[in-house]
Amino acid sequence: MELILALGIGVFTGSGVWLLLRPRTFQVIIGLSLLSYAVNLFIFAMGRLRVDAAPVLGQGGTGDPARFADPVPQALVLTAIVIGFATTALFLVVLLAARGLTGTDHVDGREREP
Amino acid sequence: MDHLVIVPVVLPLLTGAVMVLVGERRRALKAALGILSVLLVLAVAVLLLRRADSPAGAEIPVLRAYLLGNWPLPFGIVLVADRLAALMLVLTSILALAALVFSLARWHRAGAHFHPLVQFQLMGLNGAFLTGDLFNLFVFFEVMLAASYGLVLHGSGILRVRAGLHYVAVNLAASLIFLIGVSLIYGVAGTLNMADLAARMPGIAGKDRALLEAGAAVLGVAFLIKAAMWPLGFWLPTTYAAASTPAAALLSILSKVGICAVLRLWLLLFGAETGASAGFGGAWLLSGGLLTIAFGSIAVLATQDMARLAGASVLVSSGTLLAAIGVGQVAVTSGALFYLASSVLSIGAFFLLIELVERNREVGADVLAVTREAFGEEEDLGEEEVGIAIPATMAVLGMSFMGCALLLAGLPPLSGFLAKFAMLAPLLAPAPAVNGGVPGTSWALLAALVLSGLATVVAMLRAGINAFWVPADGMVPRVRLIEIAPVILLLLLCIGLTVGAGRAMDYMQATAQSLHAPQDYVRDVLSTPRAGEGGGG
């Protein structure tokens, strides 16, 4: 599982960075989204990978903490997803405004001179 | 537990929310609400500053930690109003007040939701200064940035949208870097509370230490993007030059947020008492700061229009602060804090002044063209406004410009000079530990500060001659009292800082000392009682 997760984060980050450096605004926004997936998985992995372990303690007492997953990274991921979602939506609006005002989808607002 | 600490966060939030509900039509009501809220926040900030400054052992505890949700530390999240936070709160609310009053002349009509955005911006800034928790720092950074995206785009126009697109993309990427840094630190240290983190630092095992340092470095990159350290700061001059005037003045404090975060976290995590990684990254801060000063000075000399000149001086001030922090001496840090206060006020004043000076100038005024776009009817409107009589206007503008130039360049007699002197004097006085005189880095910093001052003088002189000593052909800018008053207020505060430099420096010294010796901070924060368990509810 560690290998799959690490590969997944790597692939997401690689494609995200590549797209982020592309000249079209749509590529940039997809790149940012992929990067945020990678980051969310990364935060999740920082709480250690546990299978079949609940992050919430059972009713009546704490029991053995070793049997539970770390709840903090999961809460962080949730917050990061929400915030990332909102800022991506905001970026989308700016992107559309730029497309409308400049008439091109180049990130600099003008096509490169040939 | 008293609830004063949370007011600078909650009050702007509620005010902003009410303003959204009030709707776009009732501008006068929204303006009144906005001014009221900023004034209240300013009052609370001054109160917090006075409390934070009370000497140790007084009946009021020096440190005001506030447990949000009343969970015991280190599990709950916490707001801490220490000296640095209180200082930044006061500066932020003064700047917000000036920008808000300035905007009432006309800028707040240039687009939708200006007033709520200012309030949310204020909330994010205050929260980022107050928080004592890494992840909350991220959340407040995002609030602050989301509002700043709106403010950068306020007034619309191609230039703003084009600059805003870059600004948003850079900052979204920076936020992701921030998250990577935070999660790496959590993965190693197992806590997000800054005080708890500092307490755990000496106990981190050797093989984990590299990972933690990597996490801190990644986090530092995110802060340095905000602080616009070279080579991470290319977005700054373009964005600030394109933003509308009051927005640019308010945004100029955003770079200081990055610097404050670096200052606080670097000294907490890698201060003298933290074992093996003490001083980690100091050389990077120092050399990065020096490079930023160099880049900023070249930019100051190379720019033709004043808005970019102001952006370049933000770069110079960021570089100066980073380099001074990177030296890692208490006395230099206190000088840097004085410089911070002086430069926040003077750069804010300069941003506001630029528009007044450049108004009515036809040549090369790109930003003005944008303004025109937004205000089709501005010409007729302007005729009705009562302008101040011609010579007085030019005299007031000229004097304010000169004040800004002196402050930014750090020439006597104003506070900019005192700040540079306060940073340089301890650098050149050889510390007892270092026998054999002044180290080379100190000379480098000295040269950088003096040369950047020279570059600023040259550039400001050139801009001033172009603006004031040309035949005006009857084109004296029409300036309303409500527009020039905030500039004068900010400059008067700088003069106040000069006159009251002794008391201000005492405060800065106490701040720097507590930042450099964070044991008290750590102990006080971690021993904060829960409400109902002690200290009363």
B234 touches chain A (CB under 8 A): no
* Contact between chains at A76 and B187 (C-beta distance less than 8 A): no
* Contact between chains at B187 and A28 (C-beta distance less than 8 A): no
CA dist., res. B266 & res. B279, Å (int)? 8
Helix (H) or strand (E) holding B197: helix B194-200
In a domain, A92, yes or no: yes
In a domain, B108, yes or no: no
CA dist., res. B376 & res. A64, Å (int)? 70
CA dist., res. A107 & res. B162, Å (int)? 8
* Contact between chains at A91 and B169 (C-beta distance less than 8 A): yes
pLDDT for the residue A61: 67
All residue ranges of chain A with pLDDT < 70 are: 58, 61-63
Nearest to B179 among A39, A90, A107 (CB): A39
CA dist., res. B203 & res. B438, Å (int)? 34
pLDDT for the residue B382: 43
- The pLDDT tens digits along chain B (537 residues) read 578 888 999 999 999 999 989 877 888 888 899 999 999 999 999 988 888 877 655 555 556 688 888 888 778 888 888 889 999 999 999 999 999 999 888 887 777 788 999 999 999 999 999 998 898 999 999 999 999 998 988 887 888 888 888 999 999 999 999 999 999 999 998 888 888 888 888 888 778 888 888 999 999 999 999 998 888 888 888 888 888 888 999 988 999 999 999 999 998 888 777 777 777 888 888 999 999 999 999 999 988 788 889 999 999 999 999 999 988 888 899 999 999 999 999 999 999 998 888 776 644 444 444 444 455 444 444 444 455 445 677 788 888 888 999 888 888 888 889 999 888 888 887 655 555 566 778 888 889 999 999 999 999 988 888 777 766 555 666 778 888 889 999 999 999 999 988 889 999 988 898 888 888 888 888 877 777 664 433
* Contact between chains at B168 and A36 (C-beta distance less than 8 A): no
**CATH at residue A36:** 1.10.287
Q: Which of B140, B107, B127, B106 is nearest to B41 (CA)?
A: B127
CA dist., res. A107 & res. A110, Å (int)? 8
- The shortest C-alpha distance from B454 to chain A (Å) reads 34
* Residue of chain A nearest B173, judged by CA positions: A32
pLDDT for the residue B438: 67
In a domain, A112, yes or no: no
B168 touches chain A (CB under 8 A): yes
In a domain, A57, yes or no: no
A76 touches chain B (CB under 8 A): yes
B 416-445 residues inside an 8 A Cβ radius of A: none
Interface TM-score (ipTM) > 0.95: no
pLDDT for the residue B335: 92
- The shortest C-alpha distance from B159 to chain A (Å) reads 9
Number of domains in chain B: 1
Q: With 0-12 CB in 10 A as exposed, 13-18 as middle and 19+ as buried, what is B108?
A: buried
* Contact between chains at A32 and B172 (C-beta distance less than 8 A): yes
The parent domain of residue B317 ranges over 282-362+387-428+440-522
Q: With 0-12 CB in 10 A as exposed, 13-18 as middle and 19+ as buried, what is B69?
A: exposed
CA dist., res. B218 & res. B293, Å (int)? 22
CA dist., res. B232 & res. B170, Å (int)? 9
B279 touches chain A (CB under 8 A): no
The parent domain of residue A81 ranges over 2-50+70-102
* Residue of chain B nearest A83, judged by CA positions: B142
**CA B15 centroid distance within chain:** 22
Q: Which of B35, B55, B45 is nearest to B88 (CA)?
A: B45
* Contact between chains at B192 and A72 (C-beta distance less than 8 A): yes
Nearest to B187 among A32, A46, A101 (CB): A46
* Contacting residues of B for A43, CB less than 8 Å apart: 179, 182-183
> In this structure, which amino acid lies at residue B233?
G
CA dist., res. B97 & res. B39, Å (int)? 7
CA dist., res. B326 & res. B323, Å (int)? 5
B153 touches chain A (CB under 8 A): yes
In a domain, A63, yes or no: no
Residue located via tokens 């205000």: B375
CA dist., res. B35 & res. B100, Å (int)? 7
* Contacting residues of A for B180, CB less than 8 Å apart: 39, 42
* Contact between chains at A79 and B145 (C-beta distance less than 8 A): no
In a domain, B299, yes or no: yes
* Contacting residues of B for A23, CB less than 8 Å apart: none
Number of domains in chain A: 1
Nearest to B162 among A87, A91, A109 (CB): A109
Would you say the pTM of this structure is higher than 0.80?
yes
In a domain, A89, yes or no: yes
In a domain, A114, yes or no: no
